[in-house]
Structure 1
Amino acid sequence: MNILIAGGGLAGTMAAKALRELDPGAAVTVLDEERHRYYPRPNLIEFLAGRLPFEKVFAFPEGWAAKQGIDLRLGQTVARLRPAERTAETGSGEILSYDALLLATGARAALPPVPGTGLPGVFVLRTLDDALALAEHLRERRRTVVLGGGLLGLEIARAVRGRGGEVIVVEFFDRLLPRQLDPAAAGILKAQFERLGVAVVLGAATQEILGGADGAVRGLKLASGAEIAADGVVVAAGVRPETAVAREAGLAVGKGIVVDDRMRTSAPGV
């Protein structure tokens, strides 16, 4: 049995581990676009806050995959699928055959449709490389705006504040955690964050992320016309499912990749 897994995050890694335990003779290959081995994403917050050293971020020790007989290929992606042939083409052009393919490509950080999201000093927090880049930025720059008052945005704000930075959370809705909390509970949460030294701006729509003369971020302009000075902006606006490869291959795709109750896609073997 030749099994190919596209994606080395939680789903892909745990699937590879389970497959190896169930079938010691199966060939299991994992392609992961990241250059780091698997880590639980919640560890990124602890790493960013300085509470978790780099070497403790990872779920398994160095070399774990090889010892399990799993062919882990970091920095590689599935660029194209040919389900009729049961082959996949990697980003480097290599053609891999499979008996079964698991698409575990997950999602990417969403960016709002506002000018300036491509400026230097604008960050998301989805990968370990994102966390490393943001941590490096925070060494020299102290004023950070977090766009989004949901769970991730508040965790990022708390982590940045814990590093001694100045933080402002800007939320479009009239309260923090608008999908989880009623106004009274959200008010209590807001007060707790303000006691931590995190400023909160509610009911504010972002019109533009502003760049300075050096081309880097200098602040934020709101729809009200108000401006907020900042050295960096972290966007915490949710995620978008990674469906491009599946869609191009002709698989049924809706808001995500369409599957049945056994997680089978519209293509046999995928």
Structure 2
Amino acid sequence: MNIIKGANLQIRNQELLIHSLVGLLVGFFILHPISMVIYWFDTHGAEYSLISLGKVISDSFSHAFSLHMIGMSIAFSVLGGVIGFGSGLYYRSLKRKDGVLFGKRKLLEQSIPSLIKEGENEFVEFKSSLRHDYYQVKMNKNLEMVIMKSIAGFLNAKGGTLLIGVDDFGEVLGLDNDYFTLKKNDKDGFQQRLITLVSNTFGKNTCAFLNISFHLINRREICTVVIQPSVRPVYVNENSRTIFYLRTGNVTNPLTTSETVGYLQSRQIIKN
């Protein structure tokens, strides 16, 4: 695993080096000579014609590479290198996002029944309900916090899909029992309750990382929550404690303080 991470880090560093080198060359061979042409036009005003335009450009380019202009050449090379380094960072960011989106696209290419059939994994989790307790056969608001923990786990990891209304064995239970516990007994009331929970638990901005939809499976309605990875860590307040949850494999686990710090540091290294 360390060998793979080292290889990936080396590739990312090579990409940054290439972007910086290309930027340096562009600064030296393009930006500097063009600046000389612009300077000539700016200082000579209308004292040129289209006939002499080719000679002006040729002379300006030659002058840009002369020995006494070495200072300007270095300055533009450095400028180009900085721009190239910035474009390399942006490219790496896009590439990382594409990798995450690729995993999601592979999931979305499949139908909901296929997701259920394949069972839970790193990117898919099932929950029987939002607040209806099937064991006690009554409403249990404590189950809402279980949903929040699952969402936190995906937000802190690579994102994923949470199916509500499906039990651990893949049996479709539907949301009718949850609807019955709400003031507005339908999917709109369910969605409003879910958004309120997310906003109160993680903040309103976190709702932008969630996409909530509903699907009929075997004539039973279930809720699908597609979760993008959060740009910042999210925590769950539980019994006066702030807990960091992370989705690993097919389970969502709380991390200790030292484990949380280690994970966030490793994620920051990967981003860089």
Higher relative contact order (CA 8 A, sep 6+): 1
Same fold (TM over 0.5): no
Normalized per residue, which structure has more strand? Answer: 1
**Greater Cα radius of gyration, structure 1 or 2:** 2
With the length of structure 1 as denominator, give the TM-score of the two structures.
0.23
